Amino acid sequence: MRALAVSIVCALAAVVTPAPAFAQPVHYDIAVHLEPATRVLEATARITVKAPEATTIALARTLAADYILVDGEPLTARGVTRGGERVWPVAARRGGHAIEIRWRGIVAPIDLSLDHRGTLGRPVAASGPDGTFLPSGSYWYPVIGNSLGSYRVAIDLPAGQRGIVAGRLVEETVAEDGAHAVFEFAHPAEGIDLMAGPYRVETRAVRTTRGSDVALRTYFAPEIAELSKSYLDAVQGYIDLYEARIGPYPFTEFSVVSSPTPTGFGMPTLTYLGESVLRLPFIRATSLGHEVLHNWWGNGVYPDLASGNWAEGLTTFMADYAYKEQAGDDAAREMRLGWLRDLAAVPPGHDQPLRAFTARTHGMSQIVGYNKSAMVFLMLRDTLGTEAFDRGLRRFWLEQKFRVASWRDLQRAFEAESGRDLAMFFTQWLEREGLPSVRIAEASRATSGGTHLVRITLAQDTPAYGLRVPLRVQTEQGDEMHTVQLASGRQSFEIEVRARPTEITLDPEFRILRRLDQAELPPILRQTMVAPAVVVALAVPGAEWTPQAKRLAGRLIDAAPVFVDEGASLPRDPALLVIGRHAEVDAFLARNGLPARPPAVAGTGSAQVWAATRPGGAPLLIVSAGDLGSLGAVERLVPHYGRQSYLVFAGRRIIARGVWPSPAGGRALR
Ligand SMILES: [Zn+2]
């Protein structure tokens, strides 16, 4: 089961590390009866263990085993306590074991006040009329060793309730006295997670464009049942998209299941999302596709966590990033720039090699595991070309479906399809911490026999990375893109161009992983929001705006705001927040030698918010409104758009937003 931090990206919450190769050592056949009103769980299991080695049976301590039979004999060994579980040893036996267990108990009440992080931190089996979640990590069923297992689960629930586990629905009856459903999962799974609730279930049997028969379902709380059609449409679109790019969908169903808590989990064949999350319109356009794609990368091919999790980066590249590419060049560029900005903000010593990313923890490892990893796939596609890259993906899928695969297996597939040796590429991006910092050391123009040339020397720190560096040459007859192969700490190139060159820019589209210079980063709103010290100036006559402006400043910035009087001279160093009325803001900016209102926002909307840079380099944030009401209208929204450079509001609605073009000027050629 993978947990997803819903507004951002999902995080692989694999608690069990898959064995390097598996022969499906365990098969569970479970029948569970659950009464959400009383939270009483009663269940039986027949478990087949094929491996001959000694193993263990673990069950939550809150549940009690009525009996445990191992190969027909009552288990005599006493269980020991391990955390929240009771664990019984099972001796080695040639031919494995047949285990039978009956257990029962009362699970915890579902805590509707839990947020996503809270749900992540506590794998507790919980139930109630609004919903039931029995995560595998709660040991709600007897877990054998730490093996992967296939399973069959029969779920019995009272009338009005429906239940689901990942897998194929093989049998279902819904009657006045209750609901009965049987699911089978024939592949090795990390665990069994059971969900139930007062669901309205919608089913749509589809034949995909590649000819797979798939049952798509929504298990939605009645309050959001009307969203079902749009989710089914979206899932169908994603399955078609990824079948065309990778290969047939590996399962027979996909379900979107609602949760009463604001959570987000991804499992094979389903995603479990909070009702409040499912209501957000952008989830269908982003996170849902990411989760569907995990049925190929993550749940179809399992990452070998011991040698690094490639699945999050590849899924981010083929979902979140791909959707930006569909939206347009600017959106994709903005995402790349955002990744590089985050990576540039990782303090030295807090970085880690990509190979060390094994998921689950947030913060820095997420920046490396998602952003750096996705960027590695982008550079690989730029290096190999889209066709060879896609062939490599399809080969990897064919060879590794339902197996545990490593970065090395990915490398081999791309090498086989491209005919290139990618050892250096993978080694430098997986093994090294930090990023290369590449710069133009010298650049000039020349002519040779009537041919226009650019002579350029690139420099980077050593040990050097091997980099395919894009260069944009501005000429008197337009721009030309060139690519050079940088292999050492300092290297000179001669580039032939069609007309007299005037300027050259290194990687203007941010397509290579490198440590960005501060000067290359366009200002964004967040820089002032998180600055350690912020001076606030009000540019409006009288005191009528003051309470509202103070409240806005408090919401916007992390630091304690220091207000300066109108007309007082501004301290030079800190970040500056200016709040005011349009005309007075323009006068304030001019009087203080600050950049004027940009054309992209001027003359439109009821309020305008934008980021700029003070002459000394400190960040500047301006909130300019036509009247007091318009200022109040933006207060709640602005803090959510820290990654933007500007916002234009019409009342409470954002009618324009974006990131400024990068200030990274080219090097003028003489
Ligand atoms: Zn993910």
- What pLDDT does 573 receive? 82
Q: Are 427 and 309 in the same domain?
A: yes
Domain end call among 407, 431, 455 = 431
Looking at the structure, tell me whether residues 407 and 467 fall in a common domain.
no
Q: Rounded to the nearest whole angstrom, what is the distance from the C-alpha of residue 266 to the centroid of ligand 1?
A: 8
Distance in Å, CA 311 to ligand 1 centroid = 7
pLDDT digits (tens, 9 = 90+) for 310-327: 999 999 999 999 999 999
Please give the distance, rounded to the nearest whole angstrom, from the Cα atom of residue 300 to the centre of ligand 1.
Answer: 13
Q: Which of 205, 217, 314 is nearest to 272 (CA)?
A: 217
Q: How many residues does the chain have?
A: 670
Buried-exposed string 280-316: b where 16+ CB fall within 10 A, e elsewhere: eeebbebbbbbbbbbbbbbbbbbbbbebbbbbbbbbb
Note the pLDDT tens digit of each residue in 107-141. Answer: 999 887 765 555 555 688 999 999 999 999 999 99
| Cα 321 to middle of ligand 1, angstroms | 12
How far does residue 139's CA lie from ligand 1's centre (Å)?
Answer: 24
Considering the domain architecture, whether residues 532 and 577 belong to the same structural domain is answered as yes
Cα(189) to centroid(ligand 1), Å: 17
CA of 290 to the centre of ligand 1 (A): 6
| Dihedral of the alpha carbons of 330, 331, 332, 335, in degrees to the nearest 10 | 120
Mean pLDDT of 341-353: 78
Q: Residue 214 has what pLDDT?
A: 97
CA 563 to ligand 1 center in whole angstroms = 43
327: CA distance to ligand 1 center in Å?
Answer: 21
Arithmetic mean of pLDDT, 397-412: 95
**Spacing, Cα 262 to ligand 1 middle (Å):** 17
| CATH classification at residue 189 | 2.60.40.1730
**Residue where one domain finishes, among candidates 397, 431, 465:** 431
Judge if 325 and 263 occupy the same domain: no
- Is the overall model pTM greater than 0.75, yes or no? yes
Is the domain of 197 the same as that of 101? Answer: yes
**Two tokens at 510?**
């941010």
CA gap 8, 286 in Å, rounded: 10
Distance from Cα 231 to the centre of ligand 1, integer Å: 19
Give the pair of three-digit tokens for residue 236. 């169908």
Assigned domain for 19 exists: no
Report how far ligand 1's centroid is from the alpha carbon of 291 (Å): 7
Ligand 1: centre distance to CA 81 (Å)? 34
**Contact present, 578 and 596 (Cβ < 8 Å):** no
Strands across the sheet with 97-106, in order?
73-74, 63-70, 97-106, 40-49, 26-35, 149-157, 178-189, 168-175
Whole-number Å distance, alpha carbon 11 to ligand 1 midpoint, is 5
Q: How many CB atoms lie within 10 A of CB 542?
A: 7
Does residue 619 have a cis bond before it (omega within 30 degrees)?
Answer: no
- 322 in a domain, yes or no? yes
Alpha carbon of 1 to ligand 1 centroid (Å): 11
CA 480 to chain CA centroid, Å, is: 35
* pLDDT tens per residue, range 463-522: 999 999 999 999 999 999 999 999 999 999 999 999 999 999 999 999 999 998 777 788
Is there a single domain that holds both residue 340 and residue 399? yes
Of 460, 484, 516, which closes a domain? 516
Q: Is the pLDDT of residue 15 over 80?
A: no
164 and 242 co-located in one domain: yes
Q: Average pLDDT of the chain?
A: 90
Q: Region 430-450: what's the mean pLDDT?
A: 92
Rounded to the nearest angstrom, the distance between the alpha carbon of 10 and the centre of ligand 1 is 4
Asked if residue 13 is part of any domain, the answer here is no
In a domain, 651, yes or no: yes
**How remote is the CA of residue 8 from the centroid of ligand 1, in Å?**
10
CA of 498 to the centre of ligand 1 (A): 45
CB atoms within 5 A of ion ligand 1 belong to 10, 312, 315
DSSP 618: -
Torsion, CA 108, CA 113, CA 117, CA 120, rounded to 10: 20
- One domain for residues 142 and 81: yes
- Kindly give the distance from the C-alpha atom of residue 199 to the centroid of ligand 1, in angstroms, as a whole number: 26
Specify if 506 maps to a domain. Answer: yes
Residue from 539, 317, 296 nearest 400 by CA: 296
Give the phi and the psi of residue 14 in degrees, each rounded to 5.
Answer: -65, 110
pLDDT for residue 1: 57
For the segment 605-619, the average pLDDT, to the nearest whole number, is 91
**2 inside domain:** no
157 and 29 within one domain: yes
pLDDT classification of 190: cutoffs 50, 70, 90 = confident
Same domain? 322 vs 467: no
Domain span at residue 597 reads: 525-658
- What is the Å distance from ligand 1's center to 15 Cα? 15
Distance 662 CA to ligand 1 centre (A): 29
Question: How many domains in the chain?
Answer: 4
423 and 455 inside one domain: no
The CATH number covering residue 448 comes to: 2.60.40.1840
Taking 70 as the threshold, does the pLDDT of residue 619 lie above it?
yes
Q: In this predicted structure, what is the pLDDT of residue 8?
A: 34
CATH number assigned to the domain comprising residue 614: 3.30.379
Task: Give 336 Cα–ligand 1 centroid separation in angstroms.
Answer: 18
Ligand 1 center to residue 265 CA distance, Å? 10
Q: What is the CATH number of the domain that holds 357?
A: 1.10.390.10
197 C-alpha to ligand 1 centroid (Å): 25
Centroid of ligand 1 to alpha carbon of 425 (angstroms) = 24
CA atoms within 13 A on the CB side of 165: 31
Structure tokens at 76: 């005599």
- Same domain? For 450 and 422 the reply is no
pLDDT tier at 9, thresholds 50, 70, 90? very low
**What average pLDDT does the segment 287-294 reach?**
93
Contacts of 591 by beta carbon, 8 Å cutoff, 6+ apart: none
**Cα–Cα distance measured from residue 516 to residue 371, given in angstroms and rounded to the nearest whole number:** 14
Nearest to 48 by CA among 26, 22, 74: 26
Residue ranges with strand state E in 36-114: 40-49, 55-60, 63-70, 73-74, 80-82, 85-90, 97-106, 108-109
Q: Measure 269 CA to ligand 1 centroid, in angstroms.
A: 14
- Does residue 455 lie within any of the structural domains? yes
Q: How many angstroms separate the alpha carbon of residue 315 from the centre of ligand 1?
A: 6
Q: Residue 339 falls within a domain, yes or no?
A: yes
Burial class (CB in 10 A: 0-12, 13-18, 19+), 323: middle
233 pLDDT exceeds 70? yes
Tokens for 244, please give them: 């065309």
